[in-house]
Every structure is written in C-alpha cells, then in structure tokens.
Amino acid sequence: MTAHPHTRRRETEPRAPVHAPAKTPFPLAMVYSRDVRRVARSVIERSLSKPRRPRRAGLTAACTVILSLAILPPDARASPFSIPAVASPPSASPPAVDPPAADSPAADPPAQDAPDLPTTTTTSPTSSAAEVEALERRLAAVEARLAEVEGEADTLAERPAAPETPAPLRAPGTLDGQAPPNYADGFHFGSYGRVMVAGDGRGRPGRNTDIVAHGSRLDESTYAELELRREDAWESVGAYTRIVATMAMAAPVFHYDANFDAKIAIRNLYLEETGLGLKGLSVWAGSRMYRGDDIYVLDWWPLDNLNTLGGGAAYRFKTGTFVKIHSGINQPQSDFYVQTVTRSPPLEMPGATAVNILDRQKITNSLKLGHVINVGETGGVKVIAYGETHHMRAGQREVDDNAFEDLPSELGYVAGGEISLFTGKRSTHLNAWVRYAGGLAAYGDFARPTQPAPDNSTKGARELVVALGGNYEVGPFALMLGSYFRSFRNASPALDYDDIDEGIILLRPQVWIKDIFGLALEGSYQVQQRGALWNPPGEEDLRPLVGTVGKIGVVPFLAIAGRGSYSRPHLRFIYTVTMRNDAARAMYATDDVMSLRNTDHFIGFGAEWWFGSTSYFRD
C-alpha cells in the first residue's frame, strides 16, 4: 500500500543531525524554522484545546488549517504539524531501516499520527527587526480574524433551532379507490372541451345521427367547461377545503352563427370540506354535478348522474369501505313544476302582475355504499350499492279561467348497483351496472313526465338499465367498449310512442404509432323499438316500429400527450358513415333530411381536451 504523498512515515531510528546550509538567499526562511513555527504551534494548540460545540467543530478545524497554511512557507505545507527537514550534507547517508516482515502489521503504513516538532536547535542567520515586526503583525491579524469567526459560530450555536415544519396537508383521495391528483394550496384551472367543425358532404352541417338516447360521441357538437378552483389546507384544524366554480358553454359559438348570445350554464358552484373534526369525513354544499363512473365512448353515467342544488357528506373507512349521502332540489321549467299566470295588481292598481299558481320543487335524496377490494399491487374490485328517493308535494294548476285541477304528490325511487374490475395500470377496467327506477324517478332529473296515470300522477312509470363499459390497453393497442339495454314505460297503462326499448353495442379499437400518431376505428349497432305501430312502405299491415342504425367511424389523431385511451389533448379528423332502415327514418319529422336518407356522412375535424377538472376525477 502506497502512502499518501502529503504524509510522512514515523521514522524508526534517531534522525541524523540536521545541518543548516552555509548560506541562504532568504533570511526569513530560518525565521519560519524557529520563531514563526513556535508562534503558529502556540496558536493552533490553543485553538484545538478549547471545547468545541458540535456545530462549530467543522468550522474550527477549517480555520485551523487555513491559519497554518497562511503562516507556513510553501515547502512546509505538507502537513500543519510537519516541519520540512533542511537538506543534509552529501556525505550524510540515511540510517538503515530493516524492512518489516510480510505478515507483520507494519507491512501496511501505520496511522499517520502527527509527529512531535523537533527540539533540535538549529543555527540560522539573524533576521532584521523590521521583518520580525511585519511577521508579528501578520500573525496578530490572523488571530483576530480567527476570533471573529469563532464569535460568529458562537452566535449561530446559541440561536434556537427552527421548529420542524409539518408536511402540508394534501387533498384527500376520492372515496372510491381512484384518487385524483393532489394539488397545492392556491387557485387552479381545469377544463373539459371539444370543438368540432363538420359537414355532411352535401353542404349541410354535420349532425348527430344516433337514434338511441346514448350513442356514439364521435358526431357530438362543440361543448366546453371552464373550471376555476381554490384549494386550501387549514393546518390549525387539520382540514382541507375546495371551492369549485365551473362554467359550461354549448354550440353554436359566436364565430359560427354571429349571434353574440351564448348558451352558458353554471355546472358547478360549491364548497367541499374534508377532515374537520374527523379524518375521512367530507361535507359539501352548493350546486354541482354529482356522479360516479361513466362509459366514455357513450358520454354517459349509467348509475348515478345527478344535477343538484343541495349538499351531502361522505365518509371513507380505513378498510376500503365508503358511504355517501346527499339531498338536493331542482325545479325544471315545465308546467309540471311551475305555472305562471297574469293577474291584476293589488288594490285595483293599473297593469298586470305575474303570479305562480303552481310552484313546487322536487327533492332528491341519494345513498351510495361501496367497498374496494385490493387485488395485487395496483388492481382491485369495486362493489357499489346505490339508491335514490324523489319526492314532490301536491299542487294546483289552472286549466281555464277560474278553473283549476289538483295535482297529486309524487314519489319515485332508484335502486341499482355496480361492479368494477380494474388493474390500476393504463386505465384498464371493466364496469357493469344495473339500475331500476320507478315513479317520478323514472323520468330522470330534468325530464317533464309525459303520459301520466289516470290520476295525473307518475305511478306506474318505470325504467330498467343494464350497461357494460370498459377499456383494455396493451402495448400500442387498446380496445374500448360501451353497451347498454334500456326499457322505459311511462305512467300510462297503454303503450304509446314514448314507451321505448333500445340498446347499443359499440367497439373502438385503437393503435398508436410512435406515441405521437393514432388511429381509431369505431363500429356501433343501435336498435330502438317504440310503443307504436306503422306501415312500412309498400305494405298494408301494421308492424311494430323498430329502427336500426349502423355506424362506422375512422378517426386518425395526433396523440399530443402520448398513448392511452384517456390521454388528452387530441387533434383529430373524423369520418363516419351512418346507415339506417326505413323504420329509423320514420322516427324523424316529415321533410327532415334524416327521414329522406338511408345513408348519411359526417366529415369533420376538431380537438378534445381535459385537465385538472373535478368533474372528471375518477369517483
């Protein structure tokens, strides 16, 4: 083992006498060998002998080395404690040293302890008084600087340590096992949007050609949501709050129809608090879209999709179980809820005043109970039981001047469930839903009940939905699925045009090329049967009205965010061809172009994006 070039072995024999050269060209060299070394050793030993605090130990050692290097000559800086030997006369030979045995511990270099300074007195020329005085001034300046640095170290050591800052609170994950991104405190912006420029190849605008309630989203029109959100972590109480405001805009836009009036709605305006007083508990109040898992390719939430003005609470157990409750109201603009008439002002004053004869609200309550079972490192199974109740008080409605009819109170309910299998990798999942609604709830959130029962109520109305949706990704390939069957009957005992049985199955395979380009092919088949009879062209017999539609779409796109069925934004070109039978054409009004064509084309291009929006956090 080779010793470090800046270290010296401890000699095992007495040193040979050191002889000063007869003449030196630098008189101060001998002063360094005598006076300077003595003073430097004194300063260094005094510095090292003082008790040091742990924080100052490194600083003191550094100052000591700097001081020694500053006052020793260049040939003496091999070690702060080593003194370079003056060259011996040529006749002097180094003492012989026996080499250590191979198995002796001395075979390796011994620890490099600092050797004692030699006490041999050497003869040196006499330095001038001016040179010694200059050297002493330099030593005094170095000692003063050392004292100043030590004082600063004492001040830092006496300063109290800063208290440890706890980790900031983070937004809790969703209660259903699929957590949204965590955001820091402050304002955040999110959005969902799609913009479509399309035509039918014959000079007309491109239109949605689905006959079922929830069909392919390829030919949907322009729609966008802009969300402004405030996130805050309240360290003093261990709580977290989120304030959300979402504005939505629908087609047509100003640049299309030159109409400065826009279709705008407030989709979210609520405050949600989590962790105040009880971890895992969240409470919210306001107006919001309140919904669960969706089928993306159908743009639909099969089980729970409420638009509500109200409030709710949720609690997540450590075992993976979660529960959500909610209560809210709404009042769609329909004479089923509100009837406004004109009446005379009070005390026979001139003019007219609007008066609400009928003015009632619908109250909706919901309960959601679920459990997530972890499978493997990232996968799992989610099971959900869901229910709703709908209620509305009785009222009166004017049917003629000073003639009124009584409207009974209304009740409705929803019972359903979901089972979801997910891998936790690349959004691969398969969801299945079953939902049954009765009474007022069968008509949905905003729909006006049609064809009431004989007592003018919604008793007897019902809806059954069975749906399946999913996504599978492997390598550069993906397959998306959306399908459902729906059966609806209104409250009227007899069948009519509003009674519907319908269904769709849709598949969308996709492939990505170098994570930049993508190509999607989509095929769907739709069937809808109405509770009515019709005469097919050229036939005399009445037949059930059963319309069918087949659609094929080709969508090349730019995958700006890389591969992934749910990666956005996308820039895309869309072409679809729709083929419908005669019964499907009969479902359109007379002279509607859809009633005249068996085949339609949709040619367009556009964009779709979403980011940072609470409306699309997986729940």
CA dihedral 183, 189, 194, 196 (to 10 degrees): -150
Q: Check whether residue 309 and residue 395 sit in a common domain.
A: yes
Q: Check whether residue 401 and residue 506 sit in a common domain.
A: yes
Q: Please check whether residue 7 lies inside any domain of the structure.
A: no
Q: Check whether residue 195 and residue 79 sit in a common domain.
A: no
Which pLDDT score is estimated for 556? 98
Name which residue leads in pLDDT, 31 or 466: 466
Q: Check whether residue 78 and residue 190 sit in a common domain.
A: no
Copy the structure tokens of residue 551.
């659609």
Q: Check whether residue 149 and residue 192 sit in a common domain.
A: no
Express each pLDDT in 471-488 by its tens digit.
999 999 999 999 999 999
Q: Check whether residue 132 and residue 207 sit in a common domain.
A: no
* DSSP string for residues in 208-224: ----SSS--STT---EE
Is pLDDT at 402 greater than 70 in this prediction? yes
Q: Check whether residue 148 and residue 201 sit in a common domain.
A: no
Beta carbons within 10 angstroms of residue 203's beta carbon:
6
Which pLDDT score is estimated for 539? 87
Which pLDDT score is estimated for 37? 54
Can you tell me the mean pLDDT for 382-406?
A: 94
Which pLDDT score is estimated for 130? 75
Distance (Å, rounded) from C-alpha 419 to C-alpha 468?
10
Is pLDDT at 499 greater than 60 in this prediction? yes
Model confidence at 326, pLDDT cuts 50, 70, 90, reads very high
Mean pLDDT lowest among 142-156, 219-233, 300-314, 346-360: 142-156
What are the phi and psi torsion angles at 312 (to 5°)?
A: -170, 180
Q: Check whether residue 142 and residue 231 sit in a common domain.
A: no
- How do strand 570-580 and strand 599-611 relate by DSSP bridges? antiparallel
Distance (Å, rounded) from C-alpha 343 to C-alpha 402?
11
**CA distance from start to end of the chain:** 66
Name which residue leads in pLDDT, 399 or 142: 399
Mean pLDDT lowest among 23-32, 354-363, 371-380, 579-588: 23-32
Task: Give Cβ neighbours of residue 29 (< 8 Å, ≥ 6 apart).
Answer: 73
Distance (Å, rounded) from C-alpha 68 to C-alpha 61?
11
In the chain, how many domains are there? 2
Q: Check whether residue 522 and residue 404 sit in a common domain.
A: yes
In contact, 425 and 448? CB cutoff 8 Å: no
Look at the block and give the residue holding tokens 């200059």. Answer: 134
Mean pLDDT lowest among 42-56, 215-229, 308-322, 557-571: 42-56
Beta carbons within 10 angstroms of residue 555's beta carbon:
19
**CB-count exposure of residue 495 (10 Å: 0-12, 13-18, 19+):** middle
Q: Please check whether residue 10 lies inside any domain of the structure.
A: no
**Residue at a domain's end among 157, 174, 205:** 157
Q: What is the CATH number of the domain that holds 196?
A: 2.40.170.10
Q: Please check whether residue 99 lies inside any domain of the structure.
A: no
Q: DSSP label at 300?
A: B
Which pLDDT score is estimated for 78? 43
> How far, CA to CA in Å, does 414 sit from each of 117, 207, 441, 442, 464?
96, 33, 7, 8, 10
Q: Which residues pair with 594 in a beta bridge?
A: none
Which pLDDT score is estimated for 115? 42
Express each pLDDT in 597-618 by its tens digit.
999 999 999 999 999 888 876 5
In contact, 223 and 249? CB cutoff 8 Å: yes
User: In angstroms, what is the C-alpha Rg of the chain?
Assistant: 43
Q: Please check whether residue 487 lies inside any domain of the structure.
A: yes
Express each pLDDT in 517-573 by its tens digit.
999 999 999 999 999 999 998 888 899 999 999 999 999 999 999 999 999 999 999
Distance (Å, rounded) from C-alpha 69 to C-alpha 82?
12
Distance (Å, rounded) from C-alpha 298 to C-alpha 482?
6
Q: Check whether residue 140 and residue 246 sit in a common domain.
A: no
Q: Please check whether residue 168 lies inside any domain of the structure.
A: no
**CB-count exposure of residue 389 (10 Å: 0-12, 13-18, 19+):** middle
> Which residues form the domain of 60?
26-87+126-157
Q: Check whether residue 79 and residue 200 sit in a common domain.
A: no
Name which residue leads in pLDDT, 160 or 208: 208
Q: Check whether residue 509 and residue 609 sit in a common domain.
A: yes
Is pLDDT at 21 greater than 80 in this prediction? no
Which pLDDT score is estimated for 183? 55
Q: Please check whether residue 176 lies inside any domain of the structure.
A: no
Model confidence at 55, pLDDT cuts 50, 70, 90, reads very low
Distance (Å, rounded) from C-alpha 497 to C-alpha 589?
14
Q: Please check whether residue 261 lies inside any domain of the structure.
A: yes
Express each pLDDT in 108-139 by its tens digit.
444 444 444 444 444 444 556 777 777 778 77
Beta carbons within 10 angstroms of residue 443's beta carbon:
22
In contact, 461 and 449? CB cutoff 8 Å: yes
Can you tell me the mean pLDDT for 396-410?
A: 91
